[in-house]
């Protein structure tokens, strides 16, 4: 199904310069490649999403099954020209269906949705990911690549599976994953802490970008807070609409309940009251 509607979110309505977001529409699949058992990299062509998406923004994918009305959200992982790639794990009915897409198929999408990471600081960006949280961090690394005022380090909590390291390593200066440390992501951060010293990284202050399971992100916040390191978290929540109308995705923050899809998914540690 294709609708040629163009919509603005309420946040966009307040900004005269914000780009128009295209409504739900069909796009052609360019490639759907299995990277590891039940992990796929889906690439589709859409010049507008490619041009307007930023790291931590996501797109809704729609099932062709009429009994499966709710879209599934996926973070944008990479953009090359007018091609947009997502990286997803098969965990249920929707992702099983998307894993069967082939080049030339059409899929309905809506996006980009949500608010991106703030990458405006000159900084050493430390990308801390786990579970399904790696894709937005790969896109952040891609966007930071080549910037003279940024150093990037990835610290990923995947066990055994190397595809995340393979995907991010072309873009980052330093890459570490859980197999480099014995334990969890916080143990990994402990083990690489000496490498984060600004004196070893052009004097640049550390900024942590993190995405993954909630307990992991809370542990990252608890690690960063006593060290005075600023953190941005891209939250995962169960979603329905994906753009602020159904109120399914609310999360408690320091200033009350917020919708993860439209007021997030990115929040600072301060905003979440995690400091």
Binding footprint of ligand FAD on the chain (CB under 6 A): 58, 72-75, 86-89, 91-95, 132, 135, 236-239, 265
Binds 51: which of ligand FAD, ligand FES, none (CB < 5-8 Å by kind): none
User: Contacting ligand FES (CB under 6 A), which of 244, 251, 268, 271?
Assistant: 244
How many angstroms separate the Cα of 226 from the Cα of each of 221, 223, 259, 275?
A: 9, 7, 28, 8
If one asks whether residue 9 binds ligand FES (CB under 6 A), the answer comes out as no
Binds 95: which of ligand FES, ligand FAD, none (CB < 5-8 Å by kind): ligand FAD
If one asks whether residue 20 binds ligand FES (CB under 6 A), the answer comes out as no
Question: In the structure encoding, which two tokens stand for residue 253, read together?
Answer: 């923050």
Binds 92: which of ligand FAD, ligand FES, none (CB < 5-8 Å by kind): ligand FAD
Helix (H, G, I), strand (E, B) or coil at 260: helix
Cα–Cα distance, 50 to 112 (Å, whole number): 9
User: Contacting ligand FES (CB under 6 A), which of 132, 249, 266, 269?
Assistant: 249
Question: In the structure encoding, which two tokens stand for residue 31, read together?
Answer: 């490639």
Q: CB under 8 Å to 166, separation ≥6 — which residues?
A: 35
- For residue 67, how many C-alpha atoms fall within 13 Å in the half-sphere facing its CB? 2
- Would you say 128 or 206 has its CB closer to ligand FAD? 128
Question: In the structure encoding, which two tokens stand for residue 198, read together?
Answer: 């600004």
How many angstroms separate the Cα of 234 from the Cα of each of 16, 75, 274?
A: 26, 10, 13
Helix (H, G, I), strand (E, B) or coil at 117: coil
Closest distance to ligand FAD from the beta carbon of 36 (Å): 12
Closest distance to ligand FAD from the beta carbon of 67 (Å): 12
If one asks whether residue 59 binds ligand FES (CB under 6 A), the answer comes out as no
| Binding residues for ligand FES (CB under 6 A) | 239-242, 244-249, 259, 261
């Amino acid at each position: 199904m294709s609708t040629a509607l163009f919509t603005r979110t309420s946040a966009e309505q307040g900004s005269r310069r914000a780009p128009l977001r295209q409504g739900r529409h069909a796009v052609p699949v360019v490639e759907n490649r299995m990277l590891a058992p039940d992990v796929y990299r889906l690439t589709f062509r859409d010049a507008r999403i490619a041009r307007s998406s930023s790291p931590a923004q996501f797109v809704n994918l729609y099932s062709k099954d009429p009994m499966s009305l709710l879209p599934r959200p996926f973070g944008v992982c990479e953009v090359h020209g007018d091609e947009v790639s997502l990286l997803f794990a098969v965990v249920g009915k929707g992702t099983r269906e998307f894993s069967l897409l082939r080049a030339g198929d059409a899929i309905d999408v809506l996006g980009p949705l949500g608010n991106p990471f703030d990458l405006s600081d000159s900084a050493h960006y430390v990308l801390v990911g786990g579970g399904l949280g790696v894709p937005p961090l790969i896109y952040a690394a891609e966007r930071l690549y080549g910037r003279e005022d940024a150093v990037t380090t990835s610290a990923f909590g995947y066990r055994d599976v190397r595809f995340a390291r393979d995907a991010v390593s072309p873009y980052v200066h330093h890459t570490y994953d859980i197999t480099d440390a014995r334990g969890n992501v916080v143990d990994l951060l402990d083990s690489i802490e000496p490498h984060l010293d600004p004196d070893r990284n052009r004097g640049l202050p550390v900024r942590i970008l993190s995405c993954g399971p909630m307990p992991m992100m809370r542990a990252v916040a608890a690690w960063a807070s006593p060290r005075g390191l600023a953190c941005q978290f891209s939250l995962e929540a169960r979603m329905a609409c994906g753009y602020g109308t159904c109120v399914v995705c609310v999360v408690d923050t320091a200033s009350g309940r917020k919708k993860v899809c439209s007021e997030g998914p990115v929040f600072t540690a301060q905003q979440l009251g995690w400091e």
